[in-house]
Structures are given as C-alpha cells and as structure tokens.
Amino acid sequence: MWVCPRCGRTFANRNQVHTCARLGDLDEHFARSSPEVRAIFDQVRAAAEALGPIEVLPERTRIALHARMSFAAFMPRRRWLAGHLVLARRVDCARFSQIQVISACNIVHQFRLNRRDDVDEQFTAWLAEAYQVGIQEHLRRR
C-alpha cells in the first residue's frame, strides 16, 4: 500500500491520482439527516467491518469504505442513505437505480436505503462482493 505523504490516505498504487484533501468529520455528514439514516449507515458499517479490515473515509462529498481501494460510498440525505457499491459483475436488480461500467471488473451500482430493513441478506451479500473488489481479490482470480 502507498500512503500519500500530503493527506495520509492509503492506495493500492503508488502516486495514484486522487483529490488530496483532509478527511472530514463523520458526524457532520449526518447533521441534517434523521437518526434513522445514521442507524442505517452504522448497520452497513458493522456488516462491512465483519468482512475484514476497512477504513471509513469521511470525504467532502461522501463517506467511502476503503480496503486496498474504495468499494462502497454513501451520501446521507435527510430521510435516506444514497450510495453505491463497486462490484466485479453487473447485477440487474430493481434495487439499483443506476449501473455504470467503469471497467470490465469495476461496475458501480447505485442504490438508496430507506430503512434498516433494507440492509438485508441480499444487500449484505452484495456488500461482501464489493469488499472482495476492495481488497482486489477479483483480480487475483482472473
């Protein structure tokens, strides 16, 4: 892992291009959100931490979950939690509002979580897949 000497973030590749900025305060992201939105995020975070070591990066516009690379990001809204997962395959499901192919093995799936029940078995399975992308396990299998 390479550590940026200016901002302290870790990356899989040396001198990786990024927005070099100080991390913010996690709580500030939820200042205008209902307590339910924070509870949803905390539930997702606990599920991600159960998968292995992660960093929670409260950036200016999002909260990223990061292993060797960022594999999920969240943007708290007043009444819901917007976000995306990076998967190594396309998953066509009504729960994803948009799917963007970045590369053959990095496909961004956008979603919206409205309540804690949305962090169900299906979602946590996708989170586990995204974590595998985050640790770049999907590249080792190719």
CA distance 70 to 124: 16
Q: In 3D, which of 104, 105, 103 has the Cα closest to residue 129?
A: 105
- Kindly state whether residue 17 falls inside one of the protein's structural domains: no
In this prediction, residue 128 carries a pLDDT of: 98
- Kindly state whether residue 70 falls inside one of the protein's structural domains: yes
Contact between 45 and 37 under an 8 Å Cβ cutoff? The reply is: no
- Kindly state whether residue 11 falls inside one of the protein's structural domains: no
- Kindly state whether residue 15 falls inside one of the protein's structural domains: no
CA distance 38 to 51: 20
CA distance 69 to 13: 9
CA distance 10 to 132: 17
Mean pLDDT across the chain: 90
- The residue whose two tokens read 């599920």 is 47
- Kindly state whether residue 14 falls inside one of the protein's structural domains: no
> For the chain, how many structural domains are there in total?
1
- Kindly state whether residue 45 falls inside one of the protein's structural domains: yes
- Kindly state whether residue 7 falls inside one of the protein's structural domains: no
106: CATH: 3.30.1460
Segments forming the whole domain that contains residue 104: 23-140
Per-residue pLDDT tens over the stretch 41-79? 999 999 999 999 999 999 889 999 999 889 999 999 999
